[in-house]
């Protein structure tokens, strides 16, 4: 989960919700 936490922090810092939602869609497909 540490990697996901890093992704979450990076997503919020750089792009916010739109990018986060895109990443979550990719994660959910796995």
Q: CA-CA distance, 10 to 5, in Å (whole number)?
A: 9
Q: CA-CA distance, 23 to 30, in Å (whole number)?
A: 11
What pLDDT score was predicted for residue 10?
Answer: 78
Give how far Cα 2 sits from Cα of 20, 21, Å.
Answer: 16, 18
Q: Give yes or no for a contact between 3 and 27, defined as CB atoms under 8 angstroms apart.
A: no
pLDDT tens per residue, range 1-30: 688 898 888 767 776 667 678 888 988 887
What pLDDT score was predicted for residue 15?
Answer: 67
What pLDDT score was predicted for residue 1?
Answer: 65
What pLDDT score was predicted for residue 30?
Answer: 75
């Amino acid at each position: 989960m540490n990697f996901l936490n890093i992704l979450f922090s990076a997503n919020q810092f750089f792009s916010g919700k739109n990018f986060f939602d895109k990443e979550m869609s990719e994660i959910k497909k796995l």
